[in-house]
Structures are given as structure tokens and as C-alpha cells.
Structure 1
Amino acid sequence: MRVGIVSNDSEKSVALVKQFRETALQAGLTLDNKNPDVVVTVGGDGTLLSAFHRYAHLLNQVRFVGVHTGHLGFYTDWRDYEIEELVQSLVRDKGESVSYPLLDVSAIYQGRKEPAHFLALNESTIKRLDGTMVCDVYIKDEFFERFRGDGMCISTPTGSTGYNKSVGGAVIHPRINALQIAEIASINNRVFRTLSSPMIIPTDEWLTLRPVTSEGFVLTIDHLTSSEKNIVELSYRVAKERIHFARYRHTHFWNRVEAGFIGANKQNDL
């Protein structure tokens, strides 16, 4: 068993990584950040996102395990005081895993023959820097609407609890292979109309955005942000690749949602 470690730089995480390294070596595990079988992240969901993009080229062989040192995350199953139990689970590993859908993002630029491809674990957004974004929306290459507003958020099921939820999108169970598009502050009046509702796109369909203006955009892929010029088209679909988690224990998705968004408030209401 080759184990890689990715952590944030908080004092608590750094101390926990030291403890994990010592315990793992004593248990006979091999620490290998270049070609791991399992990647253990120490921090939070942001740390796991960073690890995902770092090992995106190894998704067919790598499984992820998250240890959270702050608030409970949607991708982190282990607490900071459970290092010995985690190491023993790694020692007894039998290949247990659960996989989640990813988002495939394809960008076509003026003057480039081949599109650029990206993978997102949570979501991708597209916004204009200096005014209203206007773009034509196609589903399976058929025109659907002309959007006007601040931007669009396209998310995976696991990402549906993030930015997507804050702009009015639905929370989707990760066993559903789909992507979701949610409008960000769309303009709707007697002249300009959009559906003004989130849409869930199945795995055998795809979404295409064709901006009317090709300049002045900000494109995000999870936590990564870039200013974009000369964008002709953006396409989104459920990726062929999936992320795999080494789940020696499994917290039910709706329990995660309840803990993340209701939790103590629900108890106080009883």
C-alpha cells in the first residue's frame, strides 16, 4: 500500500501529518506522493479539492481519504483524533471504494484548433468582468435560450451543495449521474426572458454556452480561477472519469447535508 499525503498549512494540520507519517511507517505502510494507491488529505474540503487536481491524471488508480481538522466537510470522513483507526483501516484495505461523477469542461478559443479540457469535482462558473454576460445556451446542440445576467454555474451532484445551492440550485444525490446548470442573477423582463430555473442534464446529454462577446470573462474550475479571452464556446458534460474514495466507513449523503446546513439549529427547534 503506497500512501500519499496532501495537507493545508495550518498548525493543526501540520502536526497531524507528522503524527500520521509516524503511525503509518510503524504500521508498515509506504509513503509515496508520486505514485500513490491512496491519497490522504488533512485539512478540509478545499484541501481535498487541491489533491484531486494534483492527481487528476491518476484517477483510475488513486482513491482518496479525507481527514478534517476544522468543520465537517462533504468529502472528509475522519476526525483528527482518529489517526490510529485510519492507519489500521489502510493496513486492512481490501479495495473498498465509492465513486462520484465529475464535470468535463471543454473550452474552444479563437485561433486554436483543439479545445482545452478540464475536470471539476464541484463546479465550473463563467462570469463577465465588466458587464452583463450574454450567451446562447444549447442542449445537445439544440438552441434553448439566450441568457443575460451575471453568469452561469454548472455543478456536479457533490458540488450541488456548494456555490450551486447559494444561487438557488437543487441538492442532488451523488448516485445520480447528472450535471446541473443554475443561472446567476439572470435578467428577466418583458424584453429578455430565460427559464430562470436550475436545470438537471442527464449523462447522455450535454450543455453548450456560446458567448455573444468573446472577451472579459472569468472562468472557474472548482477553486481555480482564470481570466479568459477569445472564448468561442464552452461545453459541459458528465465526465467519463470518476473520483474514487476509499470508504472504510460511509456517512450517508443526506446526513452530511443535514449536519452541514441544519445541524444544531434543528435540535434547538425541537
Structure 2
Amino acid sequence: MNKFENVYFFDPFGKDTERIRKDLMEVFNNMGIHTVKTSEEADLIASIGGDGTFLQAVRKTGFRDDCVYIGIAIQEDDYMYVDFDYKNSHLISEALTSEDTEVRNYPAIEVKINDNKPSFCLNEFTLRSSIVKTIMMDVYIDDFLFEQFHGDGVLVCTPTGSTGYNKSLGGAVVDPLVKAIQVTELASVNNNKYRTLGTSFLLNKDRPLTLMIDKSKDYYPIMSLDNEALSLQNTEQVQIRVADRIIKTLRLPNNTFWHKTQRNFL
């Protein structure tokens, strides 16, 4: 695989992981990969921590599609995004120098709220009322009014995010090779007055989803992008689609998405 020149460490734990970061700097330096102070200088971005830290690293560095992200765990555990453990740093060296290691592409979600600039997420987007009341919204696929939703809210996830909150809601686990978003209901109301599909569904990369929130009441909707919450007033429209940009990570032998899914759930 191509040789990397500069690595940026995303280390939100600071002094608590200073020794680990210094050890990793030496590992990368021995491979001829220099540590840089800003993510803009790097062609390799390494997060130190678990899956949540990896998601933060991607977000805080601007969802770059011109570099490769890797996750390095502090504790031994089974992760979906993190592939390495700093205690086995020799595996990092092998992966970065082996001809058998390839780059894999994870699709991201683009979210546009009202007329604001688009935001992105790698795992999932959720929208729900912040008050103890169900929320109503019109759900459009392309420009087609698909259903009128009444319930707690909706979740939209990427294939890699399908093993998280989506799975606990009964959604399907989706192969990351499928460029799609999955839409899953949060406690929808279904009776003689209100009716929704009642199951999750997939939309391919060319089909945008639009949520038009009922403005007869003010729900003060809370939205989340991965592990970051947003609370915006006067939210009327949310447009969601598969993003043009992709997130690159290392594809290791015997450590595919399905290997990780098996370890975590079976």
C-alpha cells in the first residue's frame, strides 16, 4: 500500500494518555511517519480511544476524504470502527507496511437543516421532540410524500451505523458495500387515525429523504449527529442523503465489518 508521511493523533484524553501517545509516536517514527501538530498536515489520522473517540476524530477533523483514519484502542474490547490496540503496536506497523493491507471506504450521511450548510455523520442521525410529546412530520422520498409520521422521532443510519441504536430498534444490519441510508422509526403511533410503514427501510445513494416538521406546534426538536447533539429552534425542514464524500480506513485481513459484527453479537 502507499506509504504515509505524516500522522496526526486525535487524543481527547490529554495527560491521561500522554505516555501512550509518546509510545505510538515512536512506533510511527520508526516507520518513517512523522507526527504533525495539525490534522490538515496529515495524510493519516489516528484516534486514541474507542469507537466514540473515532467518530469524534472524523468529525473534529472535518470528515476528510483525502486521508486515512485509523482507531487505536486504549482498552481491550470489541469495536466496530477501531481496528488496533496500542498494546499490540507491532500489528499497526505490519498493517501500514504490508502489501496485503487495503483501504476500505465507509459511506457518510449528509444532513442539511433548513437552509444551513450541510453537516455530516458517519454513524447515525436522529431527530426527536425535546418535550414530552410525540412529534409529527411529513416524510418525503425524493419529492414524493411517502407518509405522515407521528411518534417519538426517526433515526437515519449508515450501513456501519446499522449495528448501533438502529439494531436495538429492530432495524437491519447492512453491509457497508451497500451505498444507502436506513430509516428507522422511534415508537411510531399506529391506530385508526395515524398510520406509518412500521418498519425500517433503505434508500439508495440517489434517493434523498426530506423531513418536514409540523409547525402548528413547537416541538423544539433535538437532533444528533453521531455522538454530538444539536438543539435548534424553528427547524422546519431536514434533508438527508448519502454524502458524496467517503471515510477511508484500513481494511485488514480477517477483520471485515462482518468479522466485527460476529465478535460483537454472536
TM-score (norm 2): 0.89
CA contact (8 A) 2:127 2:154 kept: yes
Unaligned runs of 5+ in 1: 109-113, 263-270
1:56 aligns with 2:62: yes
Task: Write out aligned runs for 1:123-202 (5 A).
Answer: 123-130=124-131, 131-202=133-204
Give the unaligned 5+ runs of structure 2: none
Superimposed CA distance per residue, residues 83-136 of structure 1 (whole angstroms, 9 cap, x where no aligned partner):
13313543568993110111011111xxxxx43311110010000011111000
1:12–1:69 contact (8 Å) kept in structure 2: no
- Contact kept in structure 2, 1:68 and 1:79, CA below 8 Å: yes
Measured in 2, the distance between the counterparts of 1:165 and 1:10 equals 33
Q: What's the CA shift for 1:81? A: 1.9
Structure 1 residue 16, shift from structure 2 partner: 2.1
5 Å-filtered alignment, 1:112-131, equals: 114-130=115-131, 131=133
The Cα shift of 1:196 comes to: 0.7
CA change 1:85–1:251 in 2 (3 A) is: closer
User: Which amino acid is the alignment partner of residue 248 of structure 2?
Assistant: H
RMSD: 2.1
Match of 1:17 among 18, 21, 33: 21
Q: From 62, 69, 72, give the equivalent of 1:67.
A: 72
Contact 1:65/1:247 (<8 A) preserved: no
Partner Cα distance (2:22, 2:253) in 1: 23
Q: In 1, distance between residues paired with 2:14 and 2:254?
A: 26
TM score, norm. by length of structure 1: 0.88
Q: Could you list the per-position Cα deviations for residues 138-191 of structure 1 after superposition, in whole angstroms to 9, with x for gaps in the alignment?
A: 101100111011110000000001111111111101000000000001111111
After TM superposition, give the deviation of residue 62 of structure 1 in Å. Answer: 1.2
Alignment pair present for 1:234 and 2:238: yes
Equivalent residue letter for 1:216: Y
Aligned-partner Cα distance in 1 for 2:243–2:118: 11
Shift of 1:80: 2.7
**Alignment-derived partner of residue 246 in structure 1:** 250
- Aligned: 1:82 with 2:88: yes
Q: How many equivalent residue pairs? A: 256
Counterpart amino acid of residue 66 in structure 2: Q
**Structure 2 equivalent of residue 100 of structure 1:** 106
AA aligned to 2:34 is T
Q: Which amino acid aligns with 1:197?
A: T
Q: SS state of the match for residue 19, structure 1?
A: helix
SS at structure 1 position matched to 2:80: coil
8 Å CA contact 1:102–1:243 kept in 2: the answer is yes
- Residues 50-102 of structure 1: per-residue CA shift (max 9 Å, x gap): 11012225x23210111122322111111232213313543568993110111
| Secondary structure of the corresponding residue to residue 103 of structure 1 | strand
- Once the two structures are overlaid, the 10-residue window that deviates more, 24-33 or 123-132, is 24-33
2:135 partner amino acid: M
Contact 1:124 1:222 in 2 (8 A): yes
Helix, strand or coil: the match of 1:73? Answer: coil
Letter in 1 for 2:176: P
Q: Which moved more, 1:71-80 or 1:13-22?
A: 13-22
Of all paired residues, the percent bearing the same amino acid is 30
- The match for 1:255 among 242, 259, 263 is 259
